[in-house]
Amino acid sequence: MEKVINDYKLSPEAMVMVAGSSIGTQRKYYENGFWYKQNNVGYEGTTEYLASKVLSCSNIQEYVEYEPCKINGKDGCRSANFLSEQESFISLQRLYDTYHGGQLSERIRMIDGIKDRIGFVVSFVIDVTGLDIREQLGKIATLDMLLLNTDRHFNNIGIVADIAKNIYKNAPVFDNGNALLSNIGEFPFDISITDNIDNVIGQPFSVNLERQAMELGYGLKVNYKELYKRLEREPDSRGLETLRIQLDKYEPLIKDNTLLIQNR
């Protein structure tokens, strides 16, 4: 049965942001507890949805689930706000700028070696909040390796803070849209998937997604048996084909069919 794609009609007043990933401008809306993002460079909404499918069969419990949809007639995706009224999302960039000033990415470039770059960030966050984010970074880095995410930067990695109670916790995994070769300007359809994969450049600790995931310890684990069941129901697309190639490639590192998976 063909999947129903909702078309959400949003007013200009719902637009809250026309800015800000390193890839480019993506129009965003917020209304009644939901975020809406229109595709900007390709099929980001489909990629967010497929990433949600992977995460639903993984050892990552806290993640943002995305619904592929249309927004005022244009393809995109929708997700629920993950913050309570008392909570705030603080990106690592904002945290660094608050305490030290400047761009965290520029500071990282001054440090030689992936291990030392990671250590600097982990130590900085511990010093400021008491929260050790290394394990979370390992999960995110492995997910980015699997999905070929080219846009993981210090504005979409962060923590959730309840300032009144002085409580800090890892933010859920979100913003995976610039993955699975979704940027069709950078990864055109007239070039093969395998050749496009060879041209992927990562961040934030290394341009090599495999090296930074290896340094952090391959934190992501996936129940392949359950994931493939869920992917069977999805329509064919380049994003899905790319995901299957990547799942085959990294199966020895991340497969764990003993994971108990809820009906997420």
Reported as a pLDDT band with limits 50, 70 and 90, residue 22 is low
- Digit-coded pLDDT (tens) for 153-184: 999 999 999 988 999 999 999 999 999 999 99
Reported as a pLDDT band with limits 50, 70 and 90, residue 53 is very high
Mean per-residue pLDDT, 198-224: 98
Residue 129 pLDDT > 60: yes
Helices 114-129 and 92-99: crossing angle, nearest 10°?
A: 70
Mean per-residue pLDDT, 117-136: 98
- Domain boundary assignment for the chain: 88-225
Q: Which 8-state DSSP code applies to residue 113?
A: S
Q: What percent of the chain has pLDDT over 90?
A: 90
Cα dist. 15→6, 32, 175 in Å?
A: 18, 12, 18
Reported as a pLDDT band with limits 50, 70 and 90, residue 19 is very low
Radius of gyration of the chain (CA): 18
Mean per-residue pLDDT, 99-116: 96
Reported as a pLDDT band with limits 50, 70 and 90, residue 27 is confident
Scanning 110-152, the segments in alpha helix (DSSP H) are 114-129, 134-147
In this prediction, residue 163 carries a pLDDT of 86
Scanning 167-208, the segments in alpha helix (DSSP H) are 193-198
Task: Tell me the whole-structure pTM to 2 decimals.
Answer: 0.95
